Amino acid sequence: MAAAAAVSGAKRSLREELKQRLRAMSAEERLRQSRLLTQKVIAHSQYQKSKRISIFLSMHDEIETEELIKDIFQRGKTCFIPQYQSQSSHMDMVKLASPEEISLLPKTSWNIHQPAEGEVREEALSTGGLDLIFMPGLGFDKHGNRLGRGKGYYDAYLKRCLRQQEVKPYTLALAFKEQISLQFPVDENDMKVDEVLYEDSSAS
């Protein structure tokens, strides 16, 4: 147990440090890196061949995903977005009808648009799974380790994907370079991401 407590303590202090780094970024710099990453994604072979894609609706300290969502629809791909349950670590990925629909969705306590908790929509895993999941996070290292916000939504969802679909979805993290660290403390519940995209990452 001592090791687990040490990991969670290390994660807590890292989260604080990463939040400070993100707060120090200017809006212009966040936008510049977001645009650059949007271009990287559009040129990415995994994105091009994926038909069913899950993507997060960004908070102010995350890579802006609005342009990517528009591109997903322009290419005729199917788009799924998170529907978090605030009382647990359960999350579904539910179908989005159009980019325009986002601004009409209610906002959560984190100030993110999402379908209301009771609203029933098509869930990705019940209709054929996902090819690609864009992963948010507070920080990432170059080995694909991810530091989330502590709720465990994505780790639990990825485990469901592994149980319910034959081919594991490709996981692609979108990060500001300020969110990249050398190495993170991890425990057995943490799921690695396949690839972390940031300004200086080399194309895979």
- DSSP annotation string for 126-183: GTT--SEEEE--SEEETTS-EE--SS-HHHHHHHHHHHH-SSPPEEEEE--GGGEES-
177 is in an annotated binding site: no
Angstrom distance (rounded) from CA 186 to CA 83: 25
Per the annotation, does 160 bind a ligand? no
Helix (H) or strand (E) holding 53: strand 52-54
Report whether 12 belongs to an annotated binding site: yes
149 is in an annotated binding site: yes
* Residue 152 is assigned to a ligand binding site: yes
137 has binding-site annotation: no
How far apart CA 65 and CA 8 sit, in angstroms, is 29
Is 121 annotated as belonging to a binding site?
Answer: no
Q: Is 153 annotated as a binding residue?
A: yes
Neighbours of 192 (CB within 10 A): 15
Residue 139 annotated in ligand binding: no
Question: SS3 helix, strand, coil % of the chain, rounded to 5?
Answer: 35, 20, 45
Residue 170 assigned to a binding site: no
Please indicate if the annotation marks 151 as binding a ligand: yes
Query: Binding residue per annotation — 163?
Result: no
Residues annotated within the binding site for substrate are 57, 62
Residues annotated within the binding site are 11-15, 57, 62, 146-154
Residues annotated within the binding site for ATP are 11-15, 146-154
